[in-house]
Amino acid sequence: MWKYALSIALVIAGVAILFPRGDQAPKPETVTPAAELKMKQAMLNQDVARTDELCRSQCSLELHRIVQDTQAQTDGKARETLQATQAAHPHMERLVRTKRDQTLDQGIAAGTLNEAAAKASQPYLEEAKRQVDNGKTYQSPPFQADGSTYFVLGVPGADGASGIVGTVRQQILAQVADHQKKNLRIEPYPAQGRYKIESVDSKSLQNVQVRHPEDNQGTSHYHTNQVVVKFKQPPSDNDLVRIRQEIGGGHVHKLGYTYVFESPGMEAKQLMGYFGKWNIDYAEPHFLYLTNDIAPVLHPNSATVITPNDSLYRRYQWNLPQIETEAGWNVSKGSTDVIVGVVDTGIDGNHADLKGHLMAGYNAIQPGARPADDVGHGTHVAGVIGAIVNNNLGVAGMSWYNRVLPVKVLDSSGAGSTYAVARGIIWATDNGAKVINMSLGNYADAQFLHDAIKYAYDRDVVLIAASGNDNTERPGYPAAYPEVLGVAAVDARKQKAAFSNYGDYVGVAAPGVNIASTYPNNQYAALSGTSMASPHVTALAALIRSVNPALKNTEVVRIIKETAMDLGPPGKDKYFGYGLIDVVAALKAADPKTSGQAAGAPTGTAPAPKPGWPDWMQRWFR
């Protein structure tokens, strides 16, 4: 239904489980911390179980492929095929092509197992060999070895005389569990990695002891001995020498009139007090941000729905049909001209289901280095947007053609500073991004970050961000900035996720529970969080700009809101915003051929560049 249009910190990406439209479930305000923690733990268990299914399905499909490839190959060529497969999928630790008249030890093999895994897998390998020789497929139950989970599978060849037996290490299950404990706030914010941090109330900056996940609500984290300062006029070299002397030395990072000062002897509050005597716009803590997962087939009764042939799509990707993506593809599948920036932990540039759509990108943590993903979060987000569609492999992204620009602003702990996030947003803007996804957040309204947001917004970029995963009404940033479209999450029943943040700043909702997508090392994982909901909306914005490039960012956002499917209380509400995004309705409204609107005709008020915008923003990376 149509609706009326509505108008540096640590980022935490989040996920949400929606509650029923009929108020049959308790409202978020009535859920106790213990009950919320129990629901989040249940969702983590679901993500791990679904990831186990994805891993087993993917490995089985790969073995079916290589058993066909190696059936007629010479021993030497078959060995090369196995080695190439094992190198591309290192979790498949050992692969063996076996023949009926051979023992496993006599087969052609690639990869090795450690002693504990070899011993624990032996009975399952023997059973796999027996089943394959009888022309049957086999999958073992999970077993433990050397602190890791493994399983064995076997796939027979069509000739009945050969087959492939493999041993798979499922380290991904532990990775997903660890990732989701942080992403869903099941554990208190971990003071890990290279940051020396403190937790504070985002409004008062009073210290907060975070001993329980519930304590994360409204809590932000910052470098204890750093401060961000924006000067009204550039300080001279002599001024900088004097400042460093008076604060006791330390590193200084410059960005236009804005500096990050570090002191070995003064803490953030002392530094903020010290800079009060200088001619500044503001001095604020240097906050951190965290992460908040054959030809096309036409349905027999509908010529308007496209079902891709990606191997994991039909069984696991409930999310795309829910928001009418398949029907929307008849209006637009995207365009290579519309670039999508993913400001996150980086992206695995070698993933077979992504690399055809990825650009070179940027690493704001370590400039000059590749924006590689050492967490998995950014790779998962990127897959929701742009996993290659209709390639008989893995999952399908929402866009068939839009290019994805990786921007790494969060490090291996899943955290990144205000400086890194702001730098990444501005770099993406200056390097062609028309839409930017930010599956990260914090509760601190950092002016430094807001400056970067406004820089992108005033240059006609559509900005999308996750609302957060603490089930709180406390505004999270950047999602709560007026220039940003904040996204809540729903589950397969269109109910609110138990952990999804809410509030008047929420613009729309999107799927965010047990979302199957790409994961590093050619793997696939199911993750939950508003981090997973946000890229659905980002991809829709990219599709809209593809079908009608003349639309301004404000017009894109207006269309997304006005075409959303109403959920919860009638009209806009704080849990779902304007409702669940509707891909086909939005694209038809944007398409000049179906909307009755000429391409480029104004449909709203576009942002005008601010005449007094600081020169340093305009000169950024130019």
C-alpha closest to that of 462 among 418, 429, 507, 413? 429
Spatial CB neighbours of 416, under 8 Å, sequence gap ≥ 6: 10, 11, 288, 289, 290, 364, 365, 409, 410, 440
Structure tokens at 300: 């027999």
Tell me 580's DSSP state. Answer: B
C-alpha closest to that of 181 among 343, 413, 25, 409? 413
Q: Give helix 583-590 / helix 553-562 axis angle, nearest 10°.
A: 130
Q: What number of CA atoms fall less than 13 Å from residue 385's CA on the CB side?
A: 37
What distance in Å separates the CA atoms of residue 423 and residue 402, rounded to the nearest whole number? 23
What distance in Å separates the CA atoms of residue 537 and residue 613, rounded to the nearest whole number? 29
> Exposed/middle/buried for 196, CB within 10 Å: 0-12, 13-18, 19+?
exposed
Structure tokens at 426: 């501005």
Spatial CB neighbours of 512, under 8 Å, sequence gap ≥ 6: 15, 16, 17, 488, 489, 490, 491, 497, 500, 528, 529, 530, 531, 532, 533
Spatial CB neighbours of 409, under 8 Å, sequence gap ≥ 6: 289, 343, 344, 364, 365, 416, 420, 421, 423, 424, 440
Instruction: Please answer whether residues 479 and 5 qualify as being in contact, where contact means their C-beta atoms are separated by less than 8 angstroms.
Output: no
298, containing H or E segment: strand 297-298
Q: Give helix 447-457 / helix 418-430 axis angle, nearest 10°.
A: 10
Phi, psi of 569 (to 5 degrees): -55, 145
For the question of residue 399 being annotated catalytic, the response is: no
- At which residue do the structure tokens 């213990």 appear? 34
Catalytic residue among 335, 417, 467, 531: 531
Catalytic residue among 377, 380, 450, 536: 377
For the question of residue 531 being annotated catalytic, the response is: yes
For the question of residue 445 being annotated catalytic, the response is: no
Distance set, CA 290 to CA 13, 38, 40, 105, 466 (Å): 6, 22, 18, 48, 11
Catalytic residue among 52, 133, 293, 344: 344
Structure tokens at 292: 């908040």
- At which residue do the structure tokens 């914010």 appear? 189
Spatial CB neighbours of 318, under 8 Å, sequence gap ≥ 6: 492, 511
Catalytic residue numbers, as ranges: 344, 377, 531
